[in-house]
């Protein structure tokens, strides 16, 4: 689809889980992007005692601070609402209570200031972030590792995605969180496991690399979680070095498994894009911040002649800039939404993809 030559400044609002975020992004007429502000407020202080995100608490926290976050984002951008060209908001997938807070706020701002409203799929925002940071345009192969999602997708264009593979049970982010909880490392789990692994010596615990060598590019992590539990029980009582070694071997198994699954997807992606398509591999989502995973995928990509692209760490997690950018891309294509948005707990990027046999509640459907 051809893009009209238009520039825009978009306010993006993100409240899908436990970060309250707002940002302003500018898109120039030539399609390049710039972040004018990006404000994120995490909620882990409220959720830490529960060992995970409590949806009711998350929604309440969004209500309490979203107006302040929006004001701060506008102040940092040095703009008035009259200077904007649209309001983008995460409308799904995510925790329904939090999504509703963002959607209602965005609707009110859009109505009062008579601005276009842009409903953004949170997963699409992750998928398109490299366009903001590197001006990388589709087509490209995407490994999406965000929260409850672990998928391989062919990104054809804004709004056009083909799912090539998915988890058949647990998402990678969930595996990190459960491993951290099992080992008493606290939350958020991904960074906690990565920090502990820095002091570990990989190779002490023999952990499986699920689905390695299988022809279809799907993922599985429930068996790896169980292997960590069994290894920890066998080494009990565990000390700090035991925990560090377990985390190091967990990351080694994850990196090896994911790299193998991505390698399997290369010829499938090339067939989906057609001959002559550029070879770009993009990692997006919160788990993309893990340096061991990045290093493993960099090697696999280089061996296959692919260029690896990963957003900066501060744009891997949930943020308003990616929502604003996805909104700007949609506005440039005339994809404006009517008032009365409906928040969606589930919203697949590839609506035509069939469920993976044995898949977990999020892995195949969201």
Looking at the domain covering 8-133+315-332, what would its CATH class be?
alpha beta
pLDDT on residue 131: 98
CATH code of 138-313, in short, is 3.30.420.40
- Tokens 């520039």 locate to 7
Single pTM value for the model: 0.93
CATH 3.30.420.40 range(s) for the chain read 8-133+315-332, 138-313
d(CA 180, CA 54): 17
pLDDT on residue 54: 77
pLDDT on residue 363: 34
Q: What is the mean pLDDT of each run of 10 residues along the chain (366 residues)?
A: 69 95 97 98 70 79 96 98 98 96 98 98 98 98 93 97 97 95 90 97 95 96 95 96 98 97 98 95 97 97 98 96 98 95 95 70 36
């Amino acid at each position: 689809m051809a893009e009209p030559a238009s520039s825009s400044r978009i306010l993006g609002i993100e409240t899908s889980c436990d970060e309250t975020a707002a940002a302003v992004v500018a898109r120039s007429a030539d399609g390049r992007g710039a972040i004018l502000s990006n404000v994120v407020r995490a909620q882990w202080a409220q959720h830490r005692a529960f060992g995970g995100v409590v949806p009711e608490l998350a929604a309440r926290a969004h209500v309490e601070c979203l107006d302040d976050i929006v004001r701060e984002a506008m102040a940092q951008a040095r703009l008035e609402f009259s200077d904007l060209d649209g309001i983008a908001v995460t409308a799904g997938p995510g925790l329904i209570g939090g999504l509703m807070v963002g959607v209602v706020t965005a609707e009110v701002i859009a109505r009062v200031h008579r601005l276009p409203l842009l409903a953004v799929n949170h997963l699409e925002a992750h998928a398109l972030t490299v366009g903001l940071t590197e001006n990388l345009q589709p087509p490209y192969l995407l490994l999406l590792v965000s929260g409850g999602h672990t998928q391989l997708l062919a990104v054809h264009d804004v709004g056009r995605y083909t799912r090539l593979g998915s988890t058949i049970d647990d998402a990678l982010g969930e595996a990190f969180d459960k491993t951290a909880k099992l080992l008493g490392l606290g939350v958020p789990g991904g960074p906690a496991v990565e920090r502990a692994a820095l002091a570990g010596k990989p190779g002490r615990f023999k952990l499986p690399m699920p689905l390695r060598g299988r022809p279809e590019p799907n993922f599985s992590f429930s068996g790896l979680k169980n292997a960590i539990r069994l290894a920890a029980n066998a080494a009990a009582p565990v000390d700090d070095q035991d925990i560090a070694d377990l985390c190091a071997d967990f990351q080694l198994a994850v990196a090896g498994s994911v790299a193998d699954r991505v390698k399997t997807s290369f010829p499938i992606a090339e067939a989906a894009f057609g001959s002559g398509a550029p070879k770009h591999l993009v990692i997006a989502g919160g788990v993309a911040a893990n340096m061991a995973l990045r290093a493993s995928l960099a090697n696999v990509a280089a061996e296959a002649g692919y260029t690896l692209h990963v957003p900066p760490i501060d744009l891997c997690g949930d943020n308003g800039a990616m929502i604003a950018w996805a909104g700007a891309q949609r506005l440039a294509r005339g994809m404006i939404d009517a008032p009365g948005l409906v928040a969606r707990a589930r919203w697949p990027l590839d609506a035509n993809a069939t469920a993976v046999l044995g898949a977990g509640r999020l892995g195949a459907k969201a």
